[in-house]
A and B are shown apart, each in its own frame.
Chain A
């Protein structure tokens, strides 16, 4: 087994006209990993997935799947990928059965493999009841399942699922999440979502993307820890570090202070405070009262906080 990542996205930028839907996005996905792609509406999730699947070319940067370039070796990439687009596009005048057979054929599966996998995915996605029905007559949730079924039909090396759990009922959502999770290990999976708890359930790693840029990459449990009722503040102060730390600690609401010395008697301080309280004024006052020089004072990653706020509220809805 090589250590080469399955998917390598390198400084990817995609313009729609003059508008950069994603700019300078870089990340890797290891073989067998389940990666969550989390972000609010219009973050650029779908756009990134369209580039990875070879539907849209990158404007700048490169994307490789299993070492194949999505532009130069498009056909090889497409052979390896199973894709469920966000809108779950299906031929409404075909039956589920015929549709799966069609998708299997154009993905180069043998007739025998198609027969075998058709019944397997039908079972996994609970489509037995509608096997012979016209797709146009299925409900939204069942169409969604057909979309997932066609994506996993050919047992692709890489699976790209754009918001796979939208529109299906809660029981099925749980099953779908389990299904996606179980696909990891064998398959490399990228799942996009704007539901925060969903990624913690199914993903080993999460990329948070906002306005076309990666905000953070982390394990879901770390994200949760970082989110826990805390707020981060960075300060740069000129003064004796030990005394400064003591004074900062004494400000009500401050839970933890760490520092790293800088040149010129200055030091950078990272503070953790209670969420929902703005400590900045109190901190500034404490520093100035002691006659130290306040060089910088900033609340960290407001965007991240805001994104989380949106993500968590979206989940409630």
Chain B
């Protein structure tokens, strides 16, 4: 626990010390702002953050998650600091969990900032708080799963760009599998559809919190965190 906290604190410090985090947060807020205005500024618009969060999940998480995670292992491998981190009495899972939590805290802070739009809505209109809440829960779960994918990608290369691209590809595959399932049929199609990130997010966005959807995101996250731990461990067996 102490190790996790120490590494988490160090990673957050690095995030906040780098201009990258601020640029990303800025772009994130600007884009979510545009999505928000788009979703509200139309005839018969509904007073909800649904449009905002749906669009940002699909487009932003696919981009933002790998950007947030690309540095976490790739840079340590490039600088060689991983050699010191892994020769300290720290368990591999502690390193992975701490780094994952750091990226999650960053993502959650960005999501928190978009509450500003929700607050605007609440001020000028009377949005339904239920779906707003469930959409945020879905967004965070969606984020957690994609961050875990990005983290795995980061262990695979010492080049941050490569890590980001691989992570992006991985997330894209999981976002778009249901598109593939459209051209297939039968069991395969149904399985692929159940695998899709976007399909599971839809329910949250409609205000439905289903344990199956929660489980899906959590399992996906756990699987990728597990793979990340194995990837870090693997250097000990090579």
**Chain A contact residues, CB within 8 Å of chain B:** 50, 53-57, 71, 74-75, 78-79, 81, 83, 85, 87, 89-94, 98, 102-103, 105-108, 150
Chain B residues contacting A98 (CB-CB under 8 Å) are 10, 13
12 A-B pairs with CB atoms under 8 Å apart are A53-B87, A56-B236, A75-B89, A78-B89, A83-B84, A91-B10, A94-B14, A103-B88, A106-B3, A106-B7, A106-B89, A106-B90
Does B126 reach chain A (CB closer than 8 Å)? Answer: no
Are B6 and A105 in contact, with the CB atoms below 8 A? yes
* Known contacts A74-B236, A102-B10, A106-B3; A90 and B88 CB within 8 A of each other: no
Chain B, residue nearest A74 (CB): B236
Tell me whether A106 and B83 are in contact (CB under 8 A). no
CB pair B80 A57 closer than 8 Å: no
Chain B contact residue count (CB 8 A cutoff): 26
Known: A56-B235, A57-B236, A102-B10. A93 touches B18 (CB 8 A): yes
CB nearest to A15 among chain B residues: B238
Query: Which 4 A-B pairs give the minimum distances between C-beta atoms?
Result: A89-B80, A105-B6, A89-B81, A78-B89
Q: Which residues of B contact A74 (CB under 8 A)?
A: 236
Q: Do B236 and A93 touch (CB < 8 A)?
A: no
Known: A56-B235, A105-B3, A106-B6. A78 touches B87 (CB 8 A): yes
B91 touches A75 (CB 8 A): yes
Cβ-neighbour of A105 out of B2, B14, B82, B91 (below 8 A): B2
What is the CB-to-nearest-CB distance from A4 to chain B, in angstroms, rounded to a whole number? 22
CB proximity of B238 to chain A, nearest CB, Å: 7
Is the beta-carbon distance between B88 and A106 smaller than 8 angstroms?
A: yes
- B17 within 8 A of partner (CB): yes
- Could you say which of B10, B89, B237 contacts A107, with CB atoms under 8 Å apart? B89
A248 vs B3: C-alpha distance in the bound complex, in angstroms? Answer: 69
- Give the contacts of B35-89 with A (CB-CB under 8 A): 79-89
In the assembled complex, the CB of B12 is this many whole angstroms from the nearest CB of chain A, namely 12
Extra pairs beyond A87-B80, A103-B88, A105-B3 (18, CB < 8 Å): A50-B83, A54-B86, A56-B236, A57-B236, A57-B238, A71-B236, A83-B87, A85-B83, A91-B79, A93-B14, A93-B18, A94-B10, A94-B14, A98-B13, A106-B7, A106-B89, A106-B90, A107-B89
Contact of B87 among A55, A90, A91, A105 (CB under 8 A): A55
Q: Which residues of A contact B238 (CB under 8 A)?
A: 56-57
